[in-house]
């Protein structure tokens, strides 16, 4: 599946929920299915700045694809990271760099995109792109 | 007995829904809502008397100037300052503190001198002093707090030295709600001729402030935290200090005469009011003072005490909740955490239920470091809040805990 197809699929999944509570319950559930994050990567350099909760994001290159792993000490944030990883992990740097990131807004989690210092979602998305750029030349 | 429902009618913003739930606004520590008379005053100002102040001889400029200066007189009386010369209008508490830190430092701070702040200060009462110390080679010393959030005033005598030039402390902690013994601190400081700046941002909405009784050298606060507009603040200073302090910003209004060979400065308080101020804001600020004095500051205090007591009891009854700032003397502010759920998660869910609180470090990272935590949830009350709202808040917390636990 392309990044766009994965993003569209997510938007569809969330569209099933009218109630914000169900949406958040689903988000939390998904966050709990994140692969276990390697403790050795829970270091300062992998922390995303601008988050009220702590978020670690790690990327490695496997063949020509970028694979992401992440963790957070806040459950909702974990859910959001899960969304990002599900959509972007396992793609080439070029695909990630050129990808659109509006699906979070389309899912209806816009408040997590606000420019206040409360959430690092924007920082996370930037970091995903930065990793892709870094791996582009490797 | 105040009729809270009648009071709420003056705050139309409160009458709205968030996600199909009634808005419960408990973030008054960040900013308060404004009664209709404050809002109307701004509209009236621009519709009827807008003109630049202190500059013109025409009718409108006279009206605008009178209104502006009238607020200054009201502020003087509101905090019982000796004269209006010591009442400077600023952009807010942060601006007021920056003015003192910068200007006082320029006049009095030398290499090796010391400035004392407390561990629970808001960043606005830390960073300006750090900047000043850096600039002049001075040292910043910290008065610690105990685990209940109270300042360890008994340590003050040990921290004061012959090099201490000024002490800057909060009247009420914005992160913990603890009311600090500033009068005692001022007494100790004055025995050694050390001036004290008090950050009154979180005190002014919750209690009667008397700067003559406190005998503080500087007192800073913001209009927007006491039902007034944003962009307006007060720096009260004892004339003897303000006279000796150089101007903070240069420009129009703060001068007496200007030439390229010599410029002389205006008298107090105008020396510190460069440029065109937030005239509409200052004029409307008077209505906020009217509002508080009309209800009676003591009545506001009593109502808030009830809310604080009620909310504290209800919160403590929830499994896993811990309150930070447990000192006896508190303003209507509660900082708390859940033992296993992150405050960001809880805050997000209860926002969905219409409850507005603040989560995070509250611009007081040293306080969070003291407790080894990343932040708290903070509910801060105002006169228009009710017990019913607290019930809705507690319900939202319980729903959130169920979802996230």
Q: How far is CA B353 from CA B125, B159, B394, in A?
A: 34, 47, 11
Q: Which residues of A touch B400 (CB under 8 A)?
A: none
Q: Among B6, B282, B271, B225, which residue's Cα sits nearest to residue B94?
A: B225
Contacts with B342 from chain A: Cβ below 8 Å? 53, 73-75, 77
Q: Is there a contact between B112 and B136 (Cβ–Cβ < 8 Å)?
A: no
Which of A40-49, A62-71, B45-54 is predicted with the least confidence, judged by mean pLDDT?
Answer: A40-49
Do the Cβ atoms of A74 and B349 come within 8 Å?
no
Q: Tell me, what's the pLDDT at A19?
A: 85
In DSSP terms, B358 is beta-bridged to B378
Task: Name beta bridge partners: B236.
Answer: B87, B219
d(CA A125, CA A43) in angstroms, rounded, equals 19
Instruction: Please report the pLDDT score of residue B339 as a whole number.
Output: 93
A114 pLDDT more than 70 = no
CATH, domain range B4-26+296-404: 3.90.1150.10
pLDDT band per the 50, 70, 90 thresholds, residue A77: confident
> Which of A48, A76, A81, A119 has the most B C-beta neighbours within 10 Å, making it the best mutation to test the interface with B?
A76
Between A20, A52, A74, which is nearest B352 by CB? Answer: A20
Please choose, from the candidates B366, B379, B334, the residue with its C-alpha nearest in 3D space to the C-alpha of residue B120.
Answer: B366
Q: What is the ipTM of this complex?
A: 0.83
Nearest to B344 among A24, A28, A74 (CB): A74
The predicted pLDDT at position B272 comes to: 96
Instruction: Tell me the catalytic residues of B.
Output: 363
- Interface with chain B: mutation pick from A24, A78, A116, highest number of B CBs within 10 Å: A24
Judged by CB atoms closer than 8 Å, whether chains meet at B342 and A119 is answered as: no
* Three-state SS letters, chain B: CCCHHHHHHCCHHHCCEECCEECEECECCCCCCCCHHHHHHHHHHHHHHCCCCCCCCCHHHHHHHHHHHHHHHHHHHHCCCCCHHHEEEECCHHHHHHHHHHHHHHHHCCCCCEEEEECCCCHHHCHHHHHHHHHHCCEEEEECECCCCCECHHHHHHHCCCCEEEEEEECECCCCCEECCHHHHHHHHHHCCCCEEEECCCCCCCCCCCHHHHCCCEEEEEHHHHCCCCCCEEEEECHHHHHHCCCCCCCCCCEEEECCCCEEECCCCHHHCCCCCCHHHHHHHHHHHHHHHHHCHHHHHHHHHHHHHHHHHHHHCCCCEEEECCCCCECCEEEEEECCCCHHHHHHHHHHCCEECEEECCCCHHHHHHHCCCCEEEEECCCCCCHHHHHHHHHHHHHHHHHHC
Query: What is the distance between the alpha carbons of residues B269 and B279, in angstroms, rounded to a whole number?
Result: 15
pLDDT greater than 60 at residue A117:
no
Q: State the sign of the Cα–Cα–Cα–Cα dihedral A17, A23, A25, A28.
A: positive
Between A32 and B141, residue with greater pLDDT: B141
**Whether pLDDT at A136 is above 90:** no
Distance of CA B289 to the CA centre of its chain: 15
Token pair 């988050």 in the structure block, residue: A51
Q: Which of A28, A73, A118 sits opposite B404 (nearest CB)?
A: A28
Q: Indicate the domain borders of chain A.
A: 3-136
Tokens at A80, concatenated: 């959001």
For residues B129 and B141, give the distance between their C-alpha atoms in angstroms, rounded to a whole number: 10
Taking CB atoms and an 8 Å cutoff, what residues of chain B touch A77? 342, 344-345
Instruction: Name the region of B352 (left: φ>0; alpha: ψ -120 to 50; beta: rest).
Output: alpha
Selected residue of B337, B343, B348, B352 to mutate for chain A interface (largest A Cβ count, 10 A) = B348
Chain B: give the shortest CA distance to residue A7, in Å: 23
Distance CA B164, CA B156 (A): 11
Contact (CB<8Å) B404/A75: yes
Specify the DSSP class assigned to residue A57.
E
- A51 among known catalytic residues: yes
Q: B42 and B281 in contact (C-beta within 8 Å)?
A: yes
Burial degree of A52 (CB within 10 A; 0-12, 13-18, 19+): buried
Chain A: residue whose CA lies nearest to B400: A21
Task: Indicate the CATH number for domain A3-136.
Answer: 3.90.1010.10
B401, B389, B391, B405: which is closest to B27 by C-alpha? B389
Residue among B89, B178, B134, B154 at smallest CA distance from B364: B178
Would an 8 Å CB–CB cutoff place B374 in contact with chain A?
yes
CB B247 within 8 A of CB B103: yes
Distance from CA of B383 to the nearest CA of A (A): 27
Contact A27, A76 (CB under 8 A): yes
Residue ranges in chain B modelled with pLDDT below 50? none
Contacts of A76 in chain B (CB under 8 A): 344-345, 348-349, 404
Q: Which residue has the tokens 């239920």?
A: B353
Residue A20: predicted pLDDT: 85
Q: So where are chain B's domains?
A: 4-26+296-404, 39-293
pLDDT at A47: 87
Residue A115 pLDDT: 57
pLDDT reported for residue A111:
66
Which residues of chain B lie closer than 8 angstroms to A20, CB-CB? 19, 352
CB < 8 Å to A25, chain B: 403
Q: How many residues does chain A have?
A: 138
- Our measurement of the distance from residue B58's CA atom to the centroid of its chain's CA atoms, rounded to an integer in Å, reads 36
Q: Which two tokens stand for residue B301?
A: 């205090």
Q: Are strands B218-222 and B263-265 parallel, antiparallel or unpaired?
A: unpaired
Asked if B107 reaches chain A (Cβ–Cβ under 8 Å), the answer is no
Q: What is the pTM of this model?
A: 0.92
Q: What's the CATH number for B39-293?
A: 3.40.640.10
User: How far is B76 from B82, CA to CA, in rounded Å?
Assistant: 7
A60 backbone dihedrals φ, ψ, rounded to 5°: -135, 160
Interchain CB contacts (distance < 8 Å): A and B: 46
User: Of B19, B360, B403, which has the smallest distance from its Cβ to A52's Cβ?
Assistant: B360
Q: B13 CB near a chain A CB, below 8 Å?
A: no
């Amino acid at each position: 599946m392309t990044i766009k197809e994965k993003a569209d699929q997510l938007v569809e999944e969330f569209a099933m929920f009218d109630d914000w509570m169900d949406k958040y319950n689903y988000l939390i559930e998904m966050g709990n299915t994140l692969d276990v994050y390697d403790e050795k990567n829970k270091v300062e350099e992998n922390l995303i700045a601008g988050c009220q909760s702590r978020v670690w994001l790690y990327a490695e290159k496997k063949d020509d694809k970028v694979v992401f792993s992440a963790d957070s000490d806040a459950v909702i944030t974990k859910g959001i990271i899960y969304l990002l990883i599900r959509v972007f992990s396992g793609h080439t740097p070029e695909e990630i760099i050129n990808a659109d990131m509006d699906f979070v807004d389309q899912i209806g989690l816009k408040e997590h995109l606000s420019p206040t210092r409360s959430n690092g979602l924007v920082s996370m998305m930037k970091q995903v792109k930065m990793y892709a750029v870094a791996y582009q030349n490797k | 007995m105040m009729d809270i429902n009648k009071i709420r009618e003056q705050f139309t913003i409160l009458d709205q829904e968030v996600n199909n739930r009634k808005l419960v606004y408990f973030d008054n520590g960040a900013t308060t809502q404004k009664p209709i008379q404050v809002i109307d005053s701004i509209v009236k100002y621009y519709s009827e008397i807008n003109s630049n102040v202190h500059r013109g001889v025409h009718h409108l400029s006279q009206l605008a100037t009178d209104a502006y200066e009238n607020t200054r007189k009201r502020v003087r009386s509101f905090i019982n300052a000796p004269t209006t010369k010591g009442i400077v209008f600023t952009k807010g508490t942060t601006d007021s503190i920056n003015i003192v830190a910068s200007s006082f430092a320029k006049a009095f701070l030398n290499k090796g001198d010391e400035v004392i702040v407390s561990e629970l200060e808001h960043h606005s009462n830390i960073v300006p002093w750090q900047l000043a110390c850096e600039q002049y080679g001075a040292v910043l010393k910290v008065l610690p707090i105990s685990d209940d959030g109270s300042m360890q005033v008994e340590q003050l005598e040990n921290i004061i030295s012959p090099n201490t030039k000024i002490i800057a402390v909060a009247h009420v902690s914005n992160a913990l709600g603890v009311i600090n013994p500033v009068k005692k601190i001022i007494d100790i400081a004055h025995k050694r001729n050390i001036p004290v700046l008090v950050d009154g941002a979180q005190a002014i909405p919750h209690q009667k402030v008397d700067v003559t009784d406190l005998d503080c050298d500087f007192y800073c606060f913001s209009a927007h935290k006491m039902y007034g507009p944003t962009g307006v603040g007060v720096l009260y200073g004892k004339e003897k200090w303000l006279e000796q302090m150089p101007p903070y910003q240069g420009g129009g209004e703060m001068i007496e005469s200007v030439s390229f060979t010599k410029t002389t400065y205006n008298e107090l308080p105008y020396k510190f009011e460069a440029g065109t101020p937030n005239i509409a804001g200052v004029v409307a600020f008077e209505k906020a003072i009217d509002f508080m004095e009309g209800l009676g500051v003591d009545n506001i205090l009593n109502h808030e005490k009830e809310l604080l007591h009620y909310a504290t009891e209800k919160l403590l009854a929830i499994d896993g909740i811990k309150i930070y700032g447990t000192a006896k003397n508190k303003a209507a502010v509660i900082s708390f955490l859940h033992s296993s759920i992150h405050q960001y998660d809880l805050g997000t869910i209860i926002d969905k239920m219409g409850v507005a609180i603040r989560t995070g470090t509250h611009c007081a990272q040293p306080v969070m470091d003291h407790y080894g935590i990343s932040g708290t949830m903070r509910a801060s009350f105002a006169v228009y809040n009710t017990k019913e709202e607290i019930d809705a808040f507690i319900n939202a917390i319980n729903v959130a805990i169920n979802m996230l636990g």
